[in-house]
Structure 1
Amino acid sequence: MADTWTVLQSVAIVTIFVCGFLGGVLAKVSQRHAFTTQILNLAAGGVLLAAGCIHLLPDASDGLKDLHGAGDYPLAPLLAYSTFIILMLVHMLAEYFALNVAGKTEDRAELINSQQGDAAVASALAAQLASSSNPRRWASAIVLLAGLGFHSFLAGMSLGAQKDVHSVVDILGPILAHKTLAAAALGSSIVNAHAPNHVFYTLITLFALTTPLGSVVGLAISQFSDDMVWASAFKALAAGTFVYVAVIEIIPDALSVKNGLMKLLIQFLSLVLGFGLMAMLAVWV
């Protein structure tokens, strides 16, 4: 049984890495299908939202309710939404960093303008400055890598800490969906920064490795306890992570009113479909 469980975890880790890497490569080879990408992102957002709220959080609550000293305190929601708040803080700091770098770039362009006295020359030099180093786009790409990598690592820890097939199924599907689409978003950001091929593949590989590394750490931590406390705690962390990714990162960016009413309805139905299918899965797993 132990050997079978090791094989299952190993297959899950390899599959997550492959999905993460291929998602990034997909962004590099296909840049002209924005509406299709939005639909897929919204479906994934629905899957993540249902996975966090309907699958993981109730399971985590059941696993933690008998924890010694906890009483009737809702530990699972506390862990889940504390994770949500921490990820939001990381996001805010990342946005500040990106805007700060962008502001410095604009200041340098204004300095060029004041020194040259010719708006056309200043504009050309500023454009050359932006195209040569791409500071704002590089900042966005690195910030995105850090943010996505952080909650991918947390999701991996949650997967590694699980001790039964039912729990792995609950977490693995949403992780695969999110990993692929997150890697595609990261890949697009790196491509927009005009990164050389070796830099592109290095960054995508690093991102693809974050969830497998988290799985190894979660598996190691879970070995300290024979009960389900660690697994339930990591389920709560995963629930908060999935809800954050869906509500803050995926759905607002992908659900666009600029595409017209019909496309907006198609996007919304994609979100509902992803949520509904994952919610229906709770009947069997």
Structure 2
Amino acid sequence: MNRELLLILLTGTLVVVAVVAAIPWFRTSRPLHGSPIAATGDALAAGIFLGAGLIHMLPDAAQGYAAHGTGYPWPFVICGATILGLALLEHLALGSGRSAVPALAAAIALAAHSFLAGAALGATSREAAILVLFLALIAHKGAASFSLAQVLTESPLSRRRALTMQNMFIAALPLGVVLGAVAIRQEQAWPLAKPTILALGAGTFLHFGLQRHRARAPTSGRARWVMPWFGFALMALIAVVD
């Protein structure tokens, strides 16, 4: 299948999942995180994100910078700054009381995650890696969209503003995919665009993977501790095959 068509189909699927998950805003239903199947999928995604960031994106970013004679380790600086920046956004999201700031910070943090993850997906050239990253993204996209919708609707934000923030989160991923795809097409004109996006994506995936792995409670079951290793090994195997 044509790579661009594959990206369109996968991105459209992710958008639909995010929209459907956000629909029951005012219903009192159990969050998706409470499902054992969803929790296991989330654990698998953690390993995939860690493997994608460390084994695929960061080395490719470093190779891209080195190919253009850049001696300074910019990919690692960008990756580390991304991890710290996303951690700061999430820290700002941990507020108390009825202030709207935590909800807004949560929306910005999740949108940043989504945008950078989409950019990394769009900048990935190997179809096998694209499919695995898609599986990792879809494993948590619905849960993230559902959770954000709950946070926004329970905040002092007006319904209209809450909907705007939710739509910003949903639109962030396809916009990121477009940016990543353009970076590949303009690789000769913008030689450092793709490795920079990959370094940003690596930081995003490492932050999210570590975050989700730490969230696994000791009582959450053996499978949820094994699945991150399985996801990480899968990304390592793809590197061998490719």
The aligned residue for residue 247 of structure 1 is 210
Structure 1 vs Structure 2 CA RMSD:
3.4
**The 10-residue stretch of structure 1 (208-217 or 182-191) with the greater mean CA deviation from structure 2:** 182-191
TM-score relative to the length of structure 1: 0.67
CA change 1:278–1:198 in 2 (3 A) is farther
Deviations 1:179-209 (A, max 9, x none): 3332233244346559998877665443221
Distance 2:132 2:76 in 1: 18
Q: 1 CA distance for matches of 2:230 and 2:156?
A: 35
Please report how far the alpha carbon of residue 166 of structure 1 lies from its aligned counterpart in structure 2 after TM superposition.
Answer: 5.6
Question: Which residue in the other structure is 1:78 paired with?
Answer: 77
Query: What aligned pairs does 1:51-130 form with structure 2 within 5 A after superposition?
Result: 51-68=52-69, 70-71=70-71, 73-95=72-94, 98-99=95-96, 102=97
Q: CA deviation at 1:87?
A: 1.5
Q: How does 1:41-60 map to 2 (within 5 A)?
A: 41-60=42-61
Matched residue SS, 1:215: helix
User: Which residues of structure 2 form unaligned runs of 5+?
Assistant: none
Q: 1:157 aligns with which of 105, 119, 131?
A: 119
Residues 168 and 264 (structure 1 numbering): CA distance in 2 closer, same or farther, change over 3 Å? closer
Larger radius of gyration: 1
Structure-2 change in CA distance of 1:57 and 1:169 (3 Å): farther
Superposed CA offset, 1:106-155 (max 9, x none): xxxxxxxxxxxxxxxxxxxxxxxxxxxxx25x554433221100121122
Q: How does 1:139-178 map to 2 (within 5 A)?
A: 139-162=101-124, 165=127, 168-169=130-131, 171-178=133-140
Given the superposition, is the C-alpha separation of residues 32 and 176 from structure 1 closer, same or farther in structure 2, using an over 3 Å criterion? closer
Give the number of the structure whose residues are more often helix, by fraction: 1
1:244 deviation in Å? 0.6
Q: Deviations over 1:1-41 (max 9, x none)?
A: 9xx44433322331221232234348968516625143332
Q: How many residues align?
A: 238
TM-score normalised over the length of structure 2: 0.77
Q: 1-side partners of 2:171 and 2:125: how far apart? A: 22
**Stretches of structure 1 lacking an aligned partner (at least 5 in a row):** 103-134
Q: Which sits farther off after the overlay, 147-156 or 174-183?
A: 174-183
Q: Kindly provide the CA deviation profile for residues 151-172 of structure 1, in whole angstroms up to 9, marking residues without a partner as x.
A: 2112222333445646644644
Q: Which residue of 1 aligns with 2:168?
A: 206
- Asked if the contact 1:48–1:178 (Cα under 8 Å) also holds between the matched residues in 2, the reply is no
Name the structure 2 match of 1:19: 17
Question: What residue identity is the alignment partner of 2:169?
Answer: F
Matched, 1:283 2:233: no
Question: Distance between the aligned counterparts of 1:32 and 1:162, measured in 2?
Answer: 32
Question: Is the 8 Å Cα contact of residues 21 and 204 (structure 1) preserved in structure 2?
Answer: no
Which residue identity does 2:199 align to in structure 1?
Answer: A
Q: Distance in 2 between matches of 1:276 and 1:168?
A: 16
Distance 1:178 1:32, change over 3 A: closer
- 1:266: how far off? 3.7
